[in-house]
Amino acid sequence: MIKLFGAVLIIVATTLVGFEFSRHLSERPRQLRLLKSALQSLEAEIMYGHTPLHEASRRLAAQLAKPLSTFFHSFSKKLTDTETTVNEAWEKSLKEIWKSTALKRGEYEIMKQFGETLGRHDRISQQKQIQLTLAHLEREEADAYDKQAKYERMAKSLGFLSGLLLIILLI
Amino acid sequence: MGLDVDIIFKIAGVGIVVAFLHTILDQVGKKEYAQWVTLFGFIYILFMVASVVDNLFQKIKSVFLFQG
């Protein structure tokens, strides 16, 4: 009886690990899409609204969903409250938020490079920088979709099957 | 006799699960992992069978050579 209980526990645990992994895989393209729309709204704020950066990022924080809203919130807070450069504030907020996202190293580098250009140029070159970053993110998104389609089902069935194998080996 | 039937079922179970793992890993293009999984499953079962055969030889020795 206790053996059966242990077996069920093992299989539930490994299946949950597999599902968690596949959720992580499907979360990445979603967050990339969110990031792209955030940059597009930022572009609109800069180009058409002539909004200052801290105001624009506060508005973005109100519009967006969870992981990115905290990022823009802390960015605008750093800009208004502390004596710092845009680049520094951007990088610091990026570092704070990065652990709670499903994004990878490549996206981090892209966003960091974008932060280095932020607020340095006139509006036209700023728009060009945003377009460039969007193009980079587009590439990463295609890659993320590819990975999701490939590995999502594998992660699920691999979790279940490894649990089954473990049970058979232990019985 | 009970032990023998048990071990046959165990081998069958390991075989089925390892075969599934092999096909899934093969489908997503991780051929080398698939081969490693199959190899380890094979080695595990080989050890199990070896212990059973060892048991058999000990028994034969004790019957025909009149030892302990």
| Residue range B1-54, pLDDT digits in tens | 556 788 888 889 999 999 989 998 888 888 899 999 999 999 999 999 999 999
Mean pLDDT, to the nearest integer, of B56-65?
A: 88
Pairwise CA distance, residues A12 & A9, whole Å:
5
pLDDT for residue B66: 67
Q: How many CB pairs under 8 A join A and B?
A: 30
| Nearest chain A CA: its distance from B4 CA (Å) | 14
Which residue in this structure is represented by tokens 């048991």?
Answer: B55
pLDDT at A100 over 70: yes
Residue A24's pLDDT is: 87
Q: pLDDT tens for residues B32-44? A: 999 999 999 999 9
Pair B24, A158: CB distance under 8 Å: yes
Backbone dihedral angles phi then psi of residue A119, each to the nearest 5 degrees:
80, 15
For residue A17, what pLDDT is reported?
94
Residue contact B28–A171, C-beta within 8 A: no
DSSP A15: H
pTM exceeds cut of 0.95: no
Stronger pLDDT, A91 or A17, i.e. the higher one:
A17
Domains of chain B, residue spans? 2-64
- Round to whole Å and give the CA distance between B36 and A18: 20
Q: Provide the ipTM.
A: 0.73
Query: Side chain identity at A21, as an amino acid letter?
Result: F
Q: Would the pLDDT of A4 be above 80?
A: yes
Q: Is the CB of A150 inside 8 Å of chain B's CB atoms? A: yes
Please give the tally of structural domains in chain A.
1
d(CA A143, CA A162): 27
Rg from Cα positions in chain A = 21
Window B:5-64, CB contacts with A under 8 Å: 10, 13-14, 17-18, 20-21, 24-25, 27-29, 44
What is the per-residue pLDDT across A25-56, written as a single tens digit (0 to 9) for each? 888 888 888 888 888 888 888 888 888 888 88
For residue A17, give its domain range: 2-170
Task: Compute the Cα dihedral for A160, A161, A167, B2 and give only its sign.
Answer: positive
Q: Report the residue count for chain B.
A: 68
pLDDT band at residue A10 using 50, 70 and 90 as cut-offs: very high
Lowest mean pLDDT among A98-102, A154-158, B29-33: A98-102
Question: What is the rounded distance in angstroms from the CA atom of residue A32 to the CA atom of residue A36?
Answer: 6
Find tokens 């920088």 and name the residue: A129
Determine the pLDDT at residue B2: 57
